Structure 1
Amino acid sequence: MSPSPTRRSALLAGAGGALSLSAAACGSADQEAAGSPASAGAGGAPVKLQLQWVTQGQFAGYFAALEQGYYSDEGLEVEILEGGSDIVPQTVLAQGQADYAIAWVPKALASREQGAAITDVAQVFQRSGTLQVSFADAGIGDVGGLRGKKVGNWGFGNEYELFAAMTAAGLDPSADVELVQQQFDMLGLLQGDIDAAQAMTYNEFAQLLEATNPATGALFTPADFSVLDWNEVGTAMLQDAVWASTDRLADTAYQEQTVKFLKASLKGWVFARDNPEQARDVVVARGSTLGASHQLWQVNEVNKLVWPAPGGAGLISEDAWARTVQIALDTRNAEGQTVITREPDADAFTNEYVQQALDELTAEGVDVTGTGFAPMTVALAEGGA
């Protein structure tokens, strides 16, 4: 885990979701949701949103919704709580210290199995952002190419896509590769201690492209690397989702608030999609310690995880959910553990509230599918400045 966000730990924050997931293993169960809150100002029903990591482009849609007044338009006074190495977002939610939380589905399902009454009410990231990255000349063109290699992974529940892919390719993760405990950065790969390193598209991969290639004196380029994308391999698991209190969803007022919160949040993601540079500026203004080019890269890459959304942004795909659950049930990590031991119950997710939000936005003329979305080309500066 990284310490509080100094410049170095901000670069390591890359894991974004990954770091916050590992917090689930080491966070104090009674940790108070703290950090630097961002508030929409007085005048609406108070709502607290717990993020899973520090302020960065990974959460651009929520900050945009706050900055653009979308929450206040729905009569909500939203306070955004930063995450950190000692904060487990789904635990904060389950303990009633927040009204909603952002968390990866596998870790949240593990928390549910342990008693956290939480429900996925919107699947904002509809694709996985996790990669396994190697130098192009390492000869790792597919998962089978990992055989005999030093394979880095963060652990803490972030390794299951990798382990599922190796198993499907006929590799025994405990015998056919050399597993290396990877730090939340790319130094192991750059220094040659790891042949294939875990990375998020929106952070660690950018760190590689912000580093100088000693052979050329220029920054590395994507052509210098080979990438295993779990979306293409078929072992992608669902990541950033909006979680609500299962118990409170029995209350009509909370149901209505949930629809309003999701409506405003999704409108914020539409803003981030259509105005990535402005969304970057909003995040930077909120106090992110990451550089401007790195943040723009992050907003752009996160947009790719959200858009296009054929069924509507935030709608939970039953196929993607089922795949995530199956991997969480069947795939064992280096310690022989699975994420969960039994099928989650029917309250684990619902499309009821996000569908209402999408219907209202559509009626207002908001493009909730992003069919014509095209990512921008971002020029990274050295060190992400």
Structure 2
Amino acid sequence: MTLSRRRFLQMTGSGVMAGALGWPALSMAQNGQGTPFAMQASWVNDAEFSGYFVAQRNGYYADEGLALDYRPGGPDVIPEGALLSNRAAVALTTVESTLKAVTQQGAPLVVIGTQYQKSPVGIVSLARTPIEKPEDLAGKVLAVPPVNRLAVEAMLAANGMSTDDVRIVPYAYDPTPLLKGEIDASLDFVTNVPYTIQLQGEDAVSFLLYDHGFPVFNDTLVVTRQTLENRRADLLAWLRASRRGWEENFQDPTRYPPLFADSFFAGNGRAIDNEIFFNQAQKPLIESPNGIFSMADADIARCVEALGRIGIDASTEHFDTSLLAELDA
């Protein structure tokens, strides 16, 4: 399992009010004139952020009058901290970590959109011993990162099951136990780990927690309430350029990853075939008939209800769709 996926799973249990941590050395500011605008990503550069890379490469931010300073994440970067220290105007976060900071620590943050309509977290198993729905987990061994155990318990409860029905063991972010038959399934990212399994000569099957009782967003677009009030025009410009980049990226998900091998993806330790797999797998999780980044009221309500079942007392007031409404006007 790649580090990017591991970091997402770890972030759910992180605190964010201690302030921003140090920036990684790599910063990809667009050259030229324009309003400075810093964006904090949630992890190191990989296909998860392809739409923003396409928008940078093709000059979409410059077209909107922005000089984008794109800041990769990393193991020591907490995106919410970048916002709270005014080092970024917008950040990509997990909705769990952001709304935990808002409800439990008073962070003045608000969700203005979402990259993933459906979180890519799911249950992964081998095709030769498939687990295709929650009920198939009965009597099986499931490896789960400790910080995500509550989410799994919520998913099981939504399907009339409990931890008495499944043996849950810690997950070390490595598919080797699954390949060796030591576990029956693991909680992982369906956009990436199946590629790793394929490299070992096996096929994987999976299902999303989102589709089975835990419907949350992922890579939520988060800003401070002050930024939302004072930089609306800049945020709209960023949203327009970023949406344009994602739309172009998904015209052919195989096209751009090879073009980024020596730039955005350089040094991330991943094969370009892996990035292509990732980019293709994430397309149905990001696209929406209402437009990329959209958040339907019903989906927000379902997300809030799901977060409540893992102890995060969120509300629909922590989401603001006014910029999306302006974007679509």
Is 1:88 aligned to residue 58 of structure 2? no
Shift in alpha-carbon separation, 1:318–1:39, aligned structure 2, 3 A = same
Deviations 1:226-254 (A, max 9, x none): 42333432423111121112122222xx0
The 2-side partners of 1:295 and 1:93 are apart by: 28
Q: CA deviation at 1:180?
A: 1.4
Structure 1 residues 296-315: aligned runs within 5 Å? 296-307=276-287, 309-315=288-294
Letter in 1 for 2:324: V
Contact 2:39 2:89 in 1 (8 A): yes
Q: Name the aligned partner's letter for residue 273 of structure 1.
A: F
Match 2:306 to one of 315, 318, 327: 327
Hey, what does 1:152 align to over in structure 2? 143
* Aligned positions of 1:69-108 closer than 5 A: 69-108=59-98
Secondary structure at the aligned position of 1:110 is classed as helix
Match of 1:168 among 158, 173, 189: 158
Residue 344 (str. 1) matches residue 326 (str. 2): no
- Looking at structure 2, the residues matched to 198 and 206 of structure 1 have their Cα atoms a distance apart, in angstroms, of 15
Unaligned regions of 5+ residues in structure 2, if any? none
- Number of the residue aligned with 1:356: 326
Name 1:256's counterpart in structure 2. 233
SS in 1 for 2:206: strand
Amino acid at match of 2:217: L
Alignment of 1:201-216 (within 5 A): 201-211=190-200
Structure 2 residue identity aligned to 1:351: T
Asked if 1:18 is matched to 2:8, the reply is yes
CA distance in 2, matches of 1:100, 1:294: 28
Amino-acid identity (%)? 22
Alignment partner, residue 363 of structure 1: none
- TM-score (normalised: structure 2): 0.90
Query: Alpha carbons of 1:329 and 1:13: their partners in 2 closer, same or farther (altered >3 Å)?
Result: same
- Alignment TM-score, normalising by the size of structure 1: 0.78
1:23 and 1:66 mapped to 2: Cα distance?
32
Q: Write out per-residue CA displacement over residues 174-224 of structure 1, whole angstroms, 9 at most, x where no aligned residue.
A: x3322211122312211223211112122112211122xxxxxxx223xxx
Superposed CA RMSD: 2.3
User: Cα distance, 1:34 vs. partner?
Assistant: 2.4
CA distance in 1, matches of 2:175, 2:12: 17
Cα 1:270–1:226 change in 2 (3 A) is: closer
Go from structure 1 to structure 2 and tell me whether the alpha carbon gap of 1:23 and 1:47 turns closer, same or farther (over 3 Å shift): farther
Distance 1:36 1:27, change over 3 A: farther
**Structure-1 residue corresponding to 2:202:** 220
Give the C-alpha shift of residue 136 in structure 1: 3.9
Distance 1:81 1:23 in 2: 22
Q: Which runs of 5+ in 1 are unaligned?
A: 1-10, 212-218, 332-337, 360-385
- State how far apart, in whole Å, the 2-side matches of 1:186 and 1:135 are: 10
Contact 1:32 1:97 in 2 (8 A): no
1:235-314 equivalence runs, <5 A: 235-251=214-230, 254-284=231-261, 285-286=263-264, 287=266, 288-307=268-287, 309-314=288-293
Q: What is the distance in 2 between the residues matched to 1:53 and 1:116? A: 21
Q: Amino acid of the residue matched to residue 277 of structure 1?
A: T
Contact 1:117/1:246 (CA < 8 Å) preserved in 2? yes
Could you say what secondary structure the match of 1:247 adopts? helix
- Cα deviation for residue 21 of structure 1 reads 2.5
CA separation of 1:30/1:120 partners in 2, compared to 1, >3 Å: closer, same or farther? closer
- Counting matched residue pairs gives 325
